[in-house]
Amino acid sequence: MKISIIGAGHVGSSAAFAIVLQRLASRIILVDVNAALAAAQAEDLSHAAPMSNPVQVHAGETAEIAGSNIVILACGVGQKPGENRLQLLERNASIFANVSRSVVQYAPDAVVLIASNPVDLMTYVVARAGGIPASRVIGSGTILDTARFRTLLSAHLGISPHSVHAYVLGEHGDSEVLAWSTATIGGAPLETYAGQVGVALGDDIRRRIDEGVRRAAYTIIAGKGATYYGIGAGLARIVRALRDDERAMMTVSVLDPASAYTIPLSLPRIVGAGGILSTFHPTLSEDEQSALERSAEALQSAAKGLG
């Protein structure tokens, strides 16, 4: 499998590293406006290959993405301390419009994964640019927020995050919705499990976990300038589902013509060979459903400025 990554900064290189370690590709192409950075990242990654997988990692020009099975877009400018994801919109929209045209030109059959923020709106830009079916334009959405939710719940409950099934829906950003009502542990509702093992799950704990999920990026950015390991691993996870036709359920963002939502946002979606195969609409509590509608409205309002 050939994977091209446009943007060789923290996120792009972290995704490439995770892909190398997980043996998900036979060839990786790194493209960046800073050619020296792309070359250095490719050389460094190639030195990791003998410890994991005989993958070929090269830096190249945009034309070299031709023949890619998957193109990951991790380009654009990053989020500044104190800046929310929607404030990145104007700075990144024009970049993505140009990049999407290059993808259509050189790799029209690829699945496009988008990681740059605001990811839902960047997914919208690429999907609306034309030339690639919307089911093959996938934003990383709330896959990372969902991982954060499961991590904090598992820590509170004292179990593995692999045993926690819970989702974050809507915008990958401030209006995201933690779907507490659908969370399950071992097939049982979250509250049932917590009560059986004697772990408190009151409003104060829910607020703490909600804040931990919702503010995680701001905390990390304040401490080290950017987030990249978590999303890098998340992108690799999506790649594996695509490569192996896993038909795995993931909270990713896509422009769905059949949906009532006219903007990409995250819902549980089935990811397999070729892209998004279907979307699941969970039964939420009344408050959660209202919050999801507000999240969609916030994204739709921001999208109006895109023309």
Catalytic residues: 172
Q: Which residue is it, tokens 């104060």?
A: 204
Enumerate residues 6+ apart whose C-beta is below 8 A from 244. none
Give bridge partners of residue 111 from the DSSP assignment.
70
Pairwise CA distance, residues 195 & 201, whole Å: 8
| Residue 4 host element (H or E) | strand 2-6
Q: What is the DSSP string of 88-141?
A: GHHHHHHHHHHHHHHHHHH-TTSEEEE-SSSHHHHHHHHHHHSSS-GGGEEE-T
Provide the residue type at 279 as one letter.
T
Q: Which residue is it, tokens 């190639």?
A: 46
Pairwise CA distance, residues 119 & 85, whole Å: 8
> Is 97:104 a contact under the CB 8 Å cutoff?
no
Whether the bond into 118 is cis, omega within 30 of 0: yes
Q: What is the DSSP string of 144-183?
A: HHHHHHHHHHHHHHTS-GGGEE--EEB-SSTT-EE-GGG-
